[in-house]
């Protein structure tokens, strides 16, 4: 087993120090760095930070961190608690809105890092940050555009909803008069065309319905006339039926009389035949009497 010599350890230490310096240099080149005392007093800042906020180092060293934040926030309990927690050694990393020189709005993605001494107590705070102002403004523009589009869409939806309510209420005279945003204008035009077509179709239907109604009225009148004539004919048929019943009864009675007359005639004929026989017998008797009388006369003449 070998041991590091003092010179070896010294060389290793120098190498570590050089590497650490190289890393710090890389951070200083790529990020905005600022150092604060635990009470928020500015101790130093690198060029990236100064360029980002628009200050020179002489303009900020010795002043407080509060110069970079909104005055209302700097006076708030939240800001006081923020530094209390940093002094307690707490670490923060987030996106922050900051105020640059001349009141310019700046956005940074940064971290507040308390540094600790050999006894483990915080003694200052180093902030590493990246300028994301352009990214944040682009995000805000995108959000504003999305919000504007959402408002446009909402206005279009409300206008269409109003038009549909008019249709549901039977109002076909009013389309959507207010113009839509350019990308939605075709929708308004098509909706109004649909309303016009619907109005034309309903007008045609109404005309046809009026024609049908008129025809129905004529049919109803004709039906009423037919009903009246039917009632009259029914009454006439009832009268005719009554007359036929009377006639039938008369014919039946006549037939009964005829049958009785026939019976009378037959009886009379029988009696006549009998009377004829009697007359013939009387004639024969009278002829015999006459003959006898003649003979008696002859006898009497003889006598």
Tell me whether residue 229 is in a domain. Answer: no
Tell me whether residue 37 is in a domain. Answer: yes
Domain range for 175 is 144-207
Please give the residue that has the higher pLDDT: either 276 or 187.
187
121 plus 148 within the same structural domain: no
Instruction: Give me the pLDDT at residue 8, please.
Output: 52
24 plus 110 within the same structural domain: yes
For residues 138-167, average pLDDT: 90
26 plus 106 within the same structural domain: yes
For residues 91-115, average pLDDT: 96
Tell me whether residue 294 is in a domain. Answer: no
101 plus 180 within the same structural domain: no
Q: Encode the chain in three state secondary structure.
A: CCCCCHHHHHHHHHHHHHHHHHHHHHHHHHCEEEEECCCCEEEEECHHHHHHHCCCHHHHCCCEHHHHCCHHHHCCHHHHHHHHHHHCCCCEEEEEEEECHHHCEEEEEEEEEEEECCCCCEEEEEEEEEECHHHHHHHHHHHHHHHHHHHHHHHHHHHHHHHHHHHHCCCCCCCCCCCCCHHHHHHHHHHHHHHHHHHHHHHHHHHHHHHHHHHHHHHHHHHHHHHHHHHHHHHHHHHHHHHHHHHHHHHHHHHHHHHHHHHHHHHHHHHHHHHHHHHHHHHHHHHHHHHHHHHHHHHHHHC
115 plus 37 within the same structural domain: yes
38 plus 99 within the same structural domain: yes
38 plus 107 within the same structural domain: yes
pLDDT single digits (tens) 23-76: 777 877 889 999 999 999 999 999 999 999 999 999 999 999 999 999 999 999
Mean pLDDT of the chain: 82
**pLDDT at 137 exceeding the cut of 90:** yes
**pLDDT at 230 exceeding the cut of 60:** yes
User: By mean pLDDT, which of 18-27, 225-234, 244-253 is the weakest?
Assistant: 244-253
Instruction: Give me the pLDDT at residue 1, please.
Output: 39
24 plus 76 within the same structural domain: yes
Instruction: Give me the pLDDT at residue 51, please.
Output: 95
119 plus 194 within the same structural domain: no
119 plus 22 within the same structural domain: yes
Q: Considering its fold, how many domains does the chain have in total?
A: 2
Instruction: Give me the pLDDT at residue 3, please.
Output: 39
**pLDDT at 4 exceeding the cut of 50:** no
Instruction: Give me the pLDDT at residue 108, please.
Output: 96
pLDDT single digits (tens) 115-125: 999 999 999 99
28 plus 77 within the same structural domain: yes
**pLDDT at 292 exceeding the cut of 60:** yes
């Amino acid at each position: 087993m070998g041991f590091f010599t003092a010179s070896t350890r010294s060389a290793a230490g120098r190498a570590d120090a050089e590497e650490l310096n190289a890393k710090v240099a890389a951070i200083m080149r790529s990020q905005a760095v600022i150092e604060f005392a635990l009470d928020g007093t500015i101790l130093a800042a690198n060029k990236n930070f100064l360029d980002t906020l628009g200050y020179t180092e002489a303009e900020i060293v010795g002043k407080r961190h509060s110069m970079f934040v909104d005055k209302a926030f700097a006076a708030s309990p939240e800001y006081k608690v923020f530094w209390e927690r940093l002094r307690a050694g707490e670490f923060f990393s987030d996106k922050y809105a900051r105020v640059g020189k001349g009141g310019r709005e700046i956005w940074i993605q940064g971290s507040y890092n308390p540094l600790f001494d050999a006894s483990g107590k915080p003694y200052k705070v180093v902030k590493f940050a990246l300028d994301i102002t352009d990214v944040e403004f682009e995000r805000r523009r995108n959000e504003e555009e999305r919000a504007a589009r959402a408002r446009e869409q909402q206005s279009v939806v409300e206008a269409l909803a109003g038009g549909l309510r008019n249709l549901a209420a039977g109002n076909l005279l009013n389309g959507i008069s207010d113009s839509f945003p350019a990308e939605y204008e075709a929708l308004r035009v098509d909706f109004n065309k649909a309303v016009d077509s619907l109005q034309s179709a309903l007008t045609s239907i109404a005309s046809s319905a009026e024609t049908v109604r008129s025809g129905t009225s004529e049919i109803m009148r004709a039906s009423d006339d037919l009903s009246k004539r039917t009632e009259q004919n029914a009454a006439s048929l009832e009268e005719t039926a009554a007359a036929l019943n009377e006639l039938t009864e008369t014919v039946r009675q006549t037939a009964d009389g005829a049958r009785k007359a026939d019976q009378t005639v037959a009886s009379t004929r029988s009696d006549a035949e009998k009377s004829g026989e009697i007359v013939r017998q009387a004639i024969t008797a009278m002829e015999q009497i006459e003959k006898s009388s003649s003979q008696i006369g002859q006898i009497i003449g003889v006598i």
